[in-house]
Structure 1
């Protein structure tokens, strides 16, 4: 029972504590993505612009879109010098690709240890301390890049990735302990839709800031917001309802009766991760493959869309900031709609939970792949191209109520570790795709970008097929082997349990005494 100050504080909250957590989790994702994404637009102003090649030269592109801001080569060169272009960095497309992908080196590395730490110590501090380190690194980016150039920026972005790597496993674990299964689709869509708020803010505000000032201000703004979020999260949010000091008794009782991870809390805390079953799980690997495909498409859009709009469609920085934010606005709105559709269809019996995951994952793979191809064939019709990019990201949002939340279906008790595996391995796409696009688009022509988009469609289609045929939407036996038992074809020995580990430990202690 709540007493004293805890009871008084609990009455200050109009919303139940799980919804306070949802709002702060949404802001966590939003902050993480603004800090991750702001470089994608800022780099277009950090590097020297290339003067368009003359007609008849080897690099001349007959299909290049007209640049409304350029008249002649001489005028352009004068403008570049006058605007301080000579002080910017002379980085090739492949170097920019390496820098844009550097974040994911660190991001991949800390997923698994971050998930395991969250399961052991709770998600609150693993999430918040990771994002705190990213916020600090974001804030000092201007100083680092001016001091050490491309190498310093590469290293700093790797460190930022190390900080953000544990964020998704920790947050998924928190959701698994706060949200009942009947609310997961819409809560998942809402929370992870925070990525689109981050992308919108990162694109739109960055464009405005750089239109009226230097690119340095982008990093000061989003790093500062990350620091402010850290303070609020530490004061308001906790790893689970049972560790929350001023949650109401009624809400705590409701969650303990309706959240599987809380019902099995004692087991989840004490049993080791069933690694030898987990790494042999076909549905889990199908989910990982689907994640690789999704991330390939997503990072192609998030990381390289600003460069496509600047280099190919010839938008100025203010227009690029506004137009690159539009697809993410559409994605956020559509994610909520798809989440409601998924929960409604499951509740009405129109399709099973497993089929819902596959249907919406397919929509999130095939829809965007087709749309970006159509955008590339829109040529210099900038309005039509933007429409197709907006449609692509709207379709992609179906992923939040499809494969994104599927990890909680397979393993609610080991959500941190399984999320770490899925997100960590699939995020390799964030390393490979920007660099490959840099290699495929050395002079950033429309024809070169079209090839990159075809590669993206092929990856999305192939990985989605794997998930459709091999994915599942039910709890895996190894997630609660005491309740479900071993399958008949299991031939790899017993999984580790607390009781078995204690027996082994006692035997070892006895041998040491002897």
Structure 2
């Protein structure tokens, strides 16, 4: 759900931001491309910081893995909810671009949460889990443009506000679900069977040795 939520906002802006800027903010076509790329440039920069910060907090024992994942993911989603709502109300060029840039940029912290969570809970199955979650998370790239096209038929600011309301609601739902159910601990079903067998054999060998010593 976290991956789906992040990608909903990501794909919505990726596919619709140039149109929104042109129709609502009255940006000239040549400026639209540059301004549309700005949020993702900020995200790329913030991602480097967020990833290193998450690892540092874990390695220093300041926060547990679960706490880091929940803090980064839920914090980012809630912040994105706020800034998407602000963008819906501040329909001015400077205000909307600033809010949307911050919203997308903060998504970098979410990627430092849910996207590596597969390695935390099941390292040997991480590729399969990522494949499954990414499959579901690709659906917003298909659904979001269709819904946006259905809502925005007259190029009115009020129609774009609905688009941002939907994205904000999905971010908020993702934050709640991840905050309640997410874990950064290795799951019992993902433990290495070979390791379990070796542990059992080691315990058996220890028991046999103890019996031999007692017999002697």
TM-score (norm: length of structure 1): 0.37
Kindly report which structure 2 residues correspond to 1:252-263, keeping only aligned pairs within 5 A, or say none. Answer: none
Kindly report which structure 2 residues correspond to 1:65-80, keeping only aligned pairs within 5 A, or say none. Answer: none
Match of 2:170 among 459, 483, 487: 459
| Alignment of 1:308 onto 2:46 | no
| Alignment of 1:442 onto 2:159 | no
Distance 1:405 1:444, change over 3 A: same
| Alignment of 1:383 onto 2:91 | no
| Alignment of 1:356 onto 2:68 | yes
Contact 1:297 1:369 in 2 (8 A): no
Q: Which residue pairs with 1:91 in the alignment?
A: none
SS of aligned partner of 1:403:
coil
- CA distance in 1: counterparts of 2:94 and 2:185, whole angstroms: 43
SS of aligned partner of 2:123:
coil
Shift of 1:367: 1.3
Q: Any stretches of 5+ residues in structure 2 without a counterpart?
A: 198-216
Larger Rg: 1
Shift of 1:364: 2.3
Q: Which residue pairs with 2:125 in the alignment?
A: 414
Match of 1:318 among 24, 30, 47: 30
Shift of 1:484: 5.2
- CA distance in 1: counterparts of 2:34 and 2:58, whole angstroms: 37
| Alignment of 1:335 onto 2:47 | yes
Q: Any stretches of 5+ residues in structure 1 without a counterpart?
A: 1-288, 486-514
Contact 1:346 1:353 in 2 (8 A): yes
Shift of 1:332: 1.1
- CA distance in 1: counterparts of 2:30 and 2:19, whole angstroms: 13
Aligned-residue CA RMSD (Å)? 1.5
Shift of 1:479: 2.4
| Alignment of 1:470 onto 2:174 | no
Shift of 1:357: 0.6
Contact 1:477 1:484 in 2 (8 A): no
- CA distance in 1: counterparts of 2:37 and 2:4, whole angstroms: 24
Contact 1:414 1:479 in 2 (8 A): yes
TM-score (norm: length of structure 2): 0.85
- CA distance in 2: counterparts of 1:392 and 1:365, whole angstroms: 9
Contact 1:363 1:396 in 2 (8 A): no
- CA distance in 1: counterparts of 2:49 and 2:3, whole angstroms: 21
- CA distance in 1: counterparts of 2:185 and 2:158, whole angstroms: 44
Kindly report which structure 2 residues correspond to 1:195-234, keeping only aligned pairs within 5 A, or say none. Answer: none
Shift of 1:419: 0.8
The structure where helix makes up a greater share of residues is 2
Shift of 1:396: 0.9
| Alignment of 1:291 onto 2:3 | yes
Q: Which residue pairs with 2:80 in the alignment?
A: 368
| Alignment of 1:394 onto 2:83 | no
Distance 1:456 1:484, change over 3 A: farther
- CA distance in 2: counterparts of 1:412 and 1:448, whole angstroms: 44
Shift of 1:426: 2.0
Q: Which residue pairs with 1:405 in the alignment?
A: 116
